[in-house]
Chain A
Amino acid sequence: MKVSVTVNGRQVDADVPDRTLLVHLLRDVAGLTGTNVGCDTSSCGACTVLLDGRSVKSCTVLAAQADGRDVTTIEGLADGTGEMHRVQRAFHAEHGLQCGFCTPGMVMASISLLAENPSPSEDEVRSALEGNLCRCTGYHNIVRAVLAAAGED
């Protein structure tokens, strides 16, 4: 089917098989490979993107379900000058990543959290990241990074 999705402000038009998953539209059609496929079973959260501003796991959303809607991926966060988003800067400053595979999903889930709750407690950050797994087990610094980013506001 024909889909038209606004990805990071840019319109992506494609004629894809009906069963195409959003993550494959992003990676294979739009060429945005920052969104990772981890477990592919909606458990790990590595494929998290924002759909109309709210975090979703793009391995469990059809491209057709995103037709006509806004998607933001990790590539869409830095501003026009290349200045990183405050959550990206906080992950950098707090060493909130080790191998980096979960990081795009962690950052997108964190941005969704901060949009809903600009001043989360540590417990609220941990609850909000329940859907994102870090197999390096770098959770403490990830939580610190999200709290630091919230404090920047």
Chain B
Amino acid sequence: MVKDFRHFQFEFARHLRQPHVFPRPEGVTAQSVEIYQNARFARVKEVLALVFVRSHTLLGHQAWGELVEHFYWHWPTHGTRQNHLPYEFVCFLADFPKTEETPAWFANFVQYEWMQWRVSAMNVETPAFNPTGDLMRERVVLNPAREDASFEWPVHSIETESDPIEPATTVLWVLRINHEELQVVPTDMFTVQLVSLLKSGLTGEEAMAAMAAWFELKNPQDLQAEGVHILNDLREAGVILGTVA
């Protein structure tokens, strides 16, 4: 009787993933397995190459290849889509023990590059807004093509692998302006918190009052006065688009 073909497929898949744990199915040569492993690895490299162009260049071809190979063999993927793989790579690097081959800032840089790709590929719907509305008194409309993240390194200033760089807490916004151009805006946790209050539906005045209460400021009106400038700067940077139309 012919063995169930699906049984063979499951056996083959298990062997491809964990060749040292699961035996090669009967009737399959080691040569075939090697060819398919090489093809799979090439495909994973190709998918990551679309997103991590600068990370690859910064690390150099050989070290990059070795890193991706480590990912290929040691990281169990959880997503079912090809375009989920770059995120898996970011997660892998966050757990990856630091080595001499990879600079200390590298995992942060990879996350930064992924964030830029994510924003450029993000589907968003922009609600109607008034670009000249009163940001303090009306509810604001934020740029929906936006991500923020905090890093241990100033990743946005890294140009080459040999750049002398010191760790420094760095908070960045990556924005898509006018549906096209990507912009990176350095910020701080105060402003990120402020924007999250605006996102929850508070007006500028309400958000400033909440921040003043949170920081237990003695003169909350100072923050109200400063708030106009902060919100206008955010509008200028493209984080805020305007007020609800």
Partners in one complex: no
B: residues with CB less than 8 A from A are none
Binding site for B on A (CB under 8 A): none
